[in-house]
């Protein structure tokens, strides 16, 4: 069968955009419109081995998956099951990381269709990795709220029972006990940001007196239009949970009127709130925080005995500095200034 006839089978069975590009003797690159999530095209090669033709990805699919998933994780658990089911369903072989599909009875179009379907099914494991990251983000968000907010002042998955008995407009965490409750939204994706925007607009329409806070997993991953709409209705935002835990905790404590807990590490606070290491006094000159070092134990910094001035070094009397001083002193004595 000629290459023109094979290309025609590919187009009839798979897509009119399929093309064959020669790359050597009995080797052709199969260009298809199918892409990974990052818009890289699937790697498909048609080549002849011995007396038969086959389709192969030459190891590109697994290599691309390792951008998001560790290679060892592809060989165990749910991911391994997804890959095995895809290979079995379309009779694709896994030869040490290279996906291959022999072409039988001249059915080139059917072979390409099955091969592309198998590769696309295998790429579903990347979605599993992203869903796992999202679920971890929500867990970290809840853990932060539980750590910083007393249980009687927080409600997860809150909705307004009066205006929204069906629970269509849900808040990830509602913090009460203030004149204006704080509605906190966990935002891992564009969809969650859009849902939060709609909820805040609906609360505004109902006339609820609230404050709002949005905590992103990674704000740079959010679409600019989606983010712009959310910014118009949300009072306060943090671009990342992982990078802003301390700032978020400080903001929450300011909102609920609660003091930050004492620092229990080596860095301690003076009575005036001045950070001071165990080996240094308070940075404020008027603060009498006692030193913890051995030399100052039991005495305040302000009460310490002043240091004795250093004596001139040996040989100073005949040094150039001493001679200059004597000349200057003699001149001032013989030329007194008039007042």
Q: What is the pLDDT of residue 197?
A: 96
Q: Are residues 55 and 75 in the same domain?
A: yes
Q: Are residues 165 and 204 in the same domain?
A: yes
Contact status, residue 44 vs residue 116, Cβ threshold 8 Å: yes
H helix count then E strand count, the chain: 9, 13
Q: Are residues 133 and 208 in the same domain?
A: yes
Would you tell me how many other CB atoms lie within 10 Å of the CB of residue 256?
Answer: 17
Percent of the chain with pLDDT over 90: 45
Is residue 104 domain-resident?
Answer: yes
Q: What is the mean pLDDT of residues 143-160?
A: 93
Question: Encoding tokens for residue 223?
Answer: 């679409």
Burial of 15 (0-12, 13-18, 19+ CB in 10 A): middle
Is residue 313 domain-resident?
Answer: no
The residue from 122, 155, 185 where one domain ends is 122
CB-facing half-sphere around the CA of 71: CA atoms within 13 A:
7
pLDDT tens digit sequence for 256-311: 886 555 444 444 444 444 444 444 444 444 444 444 434 444 444 444 555 555 55
Residue 206 CB partners (closer than 8 Å, separation 6+) = 160, 163
pLDDT tens digit sequence for 30-55: 999 998 877 888 999 999 888 889 99
Q: Are residues 138 and 227 in the same domain?
A: yes
Nearest-angstrom CA–CA distance, 230 and 218: 15
Alpha carbon separation from 2 to 5, 39, 112 (Å, rounded): 5, 31, 16
Q: Are residues 221 and 195 in the same domain?
A: yes
Q: Are residues 195 and 238 in the same domain?
A: yes
Q: What is the DSSP string of 209-235?
A: --EEEEEES-GGGS-HHHHHHHHHH-S
Burial of 278 (0-12, 13-18, 19+ CB in 10 A): exposed
Is residue 189 domain-resident?
Answer: yes
The residue from 228, 256, 284 where one domain ends is 256
Q: Are residues 86 and 146 in the same domain?
A: no
Q: Are residues 134 and 117 in the same domain?
A: no
The CATH number covering residue 232 comes to 3.40.1350
Q: Are residues 136 and 250 in the same domain?
A: yes
Residue 326 CB partners (closer than 8 Å, separation 6+) = none
The residue from 88, 122, 156 where one domain ends is 122
Domain extent, residue 56, equals 3-122
Is residue 325 domain-resident?
Answer: no
Q: What is the DSSP string of 122-150?
A: HTHHHHHHHHHHHHHHHHHHHHHHHHHS-
pLDDT tens digit sequence for 59-114: 999 898 888 777 877 887 777 888 898 899 999 999 988 999 999 888 999 999 99
Count of residues making up the chain: 339
Q: Are residues 106 and 8 in the same domain?
A: yes
For residues 303 and 183, the model is more confident at 183
Is residue 76 domain-resident?
Answer: yes
The closest alpha carbon to 213, from 248, 178, 189, 188, belongs to 248
Q: What is the SS3 string spanning 309-339?
A: CCCCCCCCCCCHHHHHHHHHHHHHHHCCCCC
Would you tell me how many other CB atoms lie within 10 Å of the CB of residue 262?
Answer: 7
Question: Encoding tokens for residue 240?
Answer: 């990342």
Residue 155 CB partners (closer than 8 Å, separation 6+) = 173, 174, 176
For residues 333 and 206, the model is more confident at 206
Q: What is the pLDDT of residue 102?
A: 92
Q: Are residues 214 and 196 in the same domain?
A: yes
Is residue 336 domain-resident?
Answer: no
**φ and ψ at residue 324, rounded to 5 degrees:** -65, -40
Q: For the chain, how many structural domains are there in total?
A: 3
- Does residue 230 carry a pLDDT above 90? yes
Question: Encoding tokens for residue 135?
Answer: 């679920």
Q: Which residue has the tokens 């009875």?
A: 105
Q: Are residues 19 and 68 in the same domain?
A: yes
Is residue 316 domain-resident?
Answer: no
Q: What is the pLDDT of residue 55?
A: 94
The CATH number covering residue 116 comes to 3.30.1460
Q: What is the DSSP string of 242-290?
A: TT-HHHHHHHHHHHHT-PPPPP-SS-EE-TTS-EE-TTS--SSTT--PP
Is residue 315 domain-resident?
Answer: no
Banded model confidence at residue 142, pLDDT cuts 50, 70, 90:
very high
What pTM, to 2 d.p., does this model score?
0.45
Question: Encoding tokens for residue 227?
Answer: 């983010």
Alpha carbon separation from 236 to 3, 119, 244, 284, 290 (Å, rounded): 61, 43, 13, 33, 40
Q: Which residue has the tokens 């069968």?
A: 1
């Amino acid at each position: 069968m000629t290459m023109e006839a094979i290309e025609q089978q590919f187009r009839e069975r798979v897509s009119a955009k399929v093309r064959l590009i020669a790359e050597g003797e009995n080797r052709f690159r199969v260009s298809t419109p199918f892409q990974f999530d990052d818009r890289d095209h699937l790697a498909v090669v048609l080549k002849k081995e011995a007396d038969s033709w086959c389709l192969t990805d030459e190891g590109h699919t697994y290599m691309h998956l390792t951008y998001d998933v560790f290679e060892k994780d592809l060989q165990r658990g749910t991911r391994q099951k997804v890959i095995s089911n895809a290979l079995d369903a379309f009779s694709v072989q896994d030869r040490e990381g290279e996906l291959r599909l022999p072409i039988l009875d001249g059915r080139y179009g059917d072979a390409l269709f099955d091969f592309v379907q198998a590769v696309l099914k295998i790429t579903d494991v990347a979605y599993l990795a992203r869903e796992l990251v999202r679920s971890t983000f929500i867990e970290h968000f809840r853990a932060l709220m539980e750590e910083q907010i007393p249980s009687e002042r927080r409600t997860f998955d809150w909705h307004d029972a009066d205006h929204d008995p069906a629970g269509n407009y849900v808040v990830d965490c509602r913090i009460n006990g203030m004149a204006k409750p704080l509605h906190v939204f966990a935002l891992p994706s564009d969809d969650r940001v859009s849902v939060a925007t709609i909820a805040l607009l609906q609360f505004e329409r109902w006339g609820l007196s609230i404050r709002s806070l949005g905590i992103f997993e990674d704000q740079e991953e959010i679409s600019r239009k989606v983010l712009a709409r959310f910014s118009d209705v949300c009072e306060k935002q943090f671009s990342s949970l992982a990078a802003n835990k301390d700032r978020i905790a400080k903001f929450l404590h300011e909102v609920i009127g609660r003091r930050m807990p004492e620092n229990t590490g080596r860095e301690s606070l003076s009575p005036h709130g001045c950070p001071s290491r165990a080996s240094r006094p308070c940075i404020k000159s008027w603060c009498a925080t006692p030193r913890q070092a051995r030399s100052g134990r039991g005495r305040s910094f302000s009460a310490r005995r002043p240091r004795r001035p250093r004596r001139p070094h040996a040989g100073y009397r005949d040094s150039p500095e001493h001679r200059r001083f004597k000349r200057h002193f003699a001149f001032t004595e013989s030329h007194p200034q008039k007042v």
